[in-house]
Amino acid sequence: NLNRFFAFGIIIGALWSLLLDPSSLKESTRFTLGNESGQNVLGIACAFSLTVFVSVILRRGFSFTDLLMGVLLLSIGLMTGSRSFVLGAAIGVIVAAIGAISKISFKVFARLILGLLLVLIFGYIVISNIPYILNYLTVAIERIVNPKNGDISNMRFDIWQQYIEVFEANPLFLLFG
């Protein structure tokens, strides 16, 4: 419960900072709680709280509130752009995971490693193909935003309307083609 209060304080402080001073993201796009506060302080606090959350979740399971607070802490920590956050959170989560893994059977451990390996392979494939994925998404969005001939259906509505008119005039076409 103490970690929930700590995390809640971080989240409320971040939201309060955004409400009072939307420019708290600054020109460098690194989130901070205020002009006198450094980004690393907030990042380290998020990393500490996130590490405690992960260790608690691995010990007793998680609730929706824990998951939501963890995601918010992760988001705030990443918005700080702090290398200290990334390093602290990574080390903390690895240590907590090692502690939890040491108490499970080999079969479950092997499944976890296989799942992690699959996630890493999938992540590598996605990251190595980002230019292609972005190009594909850009083309798809462009087709929706700026359709050919100004018609998103590419004139198919007109064709279907003509088909319907023919079938209404002579329903035997529907049966015999």
- pLDDT per residue over 115-143, tens digit each? 778 888 888 887 887 787 778 778 777 77
State CA 60 to chain mean position distance: 24
Q: Give residue 63's pLDDT.
A: 77
Q: Give residue 96's pLDDT.
A: 80
The CA–CA distances, whole Å, from 20 to 29, 33, 39, 168 equal 17, 10, 17, 63
The H or E element containing residue 36 is: none
Q: Give residue 67's pLDDT.
A: 79
Q: How far apart are CA 122 and CA 32, in angstroms?
A: 33
Q: Find out whether 81 and 31 touch, Cβ atoms under 8 Å.
A: yes
* Low-confidence spans in the chain with pLDDT less than 70: 1-3, 17-18, 20-39, 149-155, 174-177
Q: In the numeric block, which tokens belong to residue 106?
A: 């080999």
Q: In the numeric block, which tokens belong to residue 173?
A: 């076409």
Q: Give residue 176's pLDDT.
A: 66
**Angle (CA) 80 83 87, round 5°:** 120
Q: How deeply is 100 buried, as exposed, middle or buried, from its count of CB atoms within 10 A (0-12, 13-18, 19+)?
A: middle
